[in-house]
Amino acid sequence: MSLITWTKDQFATNVSKHDQEHQKIFQQVNALGDAVGSGDRSAVGRQLDTLITTVAQHFASEEANFARYNYPAAATHKAEHDKLVATCLDLQKKFHAGQAEVTGETAGFVVDWLTNHIPNIDKRYGPFLNERGVA
């Protein structure tokens, strides 16, 4: 079952590298939802680890472009990333220690975060980077 679907209208930043990264994240969120639905805890753990790695790499990729082009909103944008990473690492640690479960609600939280962050925060760097030749 798809929890989140990438559409150009809703999610395109017009920076193709980051649009591709977002699509990969969406695939992995959907795979996490499927793993949760299957009830296979070790599959959930594997998918959680994969998703967190991909998200962290994507944040580093955006932040590298911010640094390279002196994006004025870099610090506030990075603060949003850091908050999510901290939440994810905490959950990951607790999950693998058997102190927390990943549920449909967890996947929903990630879906909500992406549905807010990409259109409202990520989309702002599109015109800025496009003007500097990053398409």
- With b meaning 16 or more CB within 10 Å and e meaning fewer, what string describes 13-32? bebeebbebbebbbebbbbb
Which residue number places its CB atom closest to Fe ion? 122
Q: Give me the count of residues in the chain.
A: 135
Q: Which is nearer to Fe ion, 24 or 41 (CB)?
A: 24
Q: Which is nearer to Fe ion, 71 or 95 (CB)?
A: 71
Distance CA 59, CA 82 (A): 9
Scanning residues 50 to 69, which ones bind Fe ion (CB under 5 A)? 62
Least distance from Fe ion to the Cβ atom of residue 117, Å: 6
End-to-end CA distance of the chain: 32
Q: Which is nearer to Fe ion, 91 or 122 (CB)?
A: 122
Q: Which is nearer to Fe ion, 103 or 115 (CB)?
A: 115
Give yes or no for residue 122 binding Fe ion (CB under 5 A).
yes
Give yes or no for residue 19 binding Fe ion (CB under 5 A).
no
Phi and psi torsions of 102, nearest 5°: -100, 125
Q: For residue 44, how many other CB atoms are within 10 A of its CB?
A: 23
| x/- map, 73-112, Fe ion, by CB under 5 A | ----------------------------------------
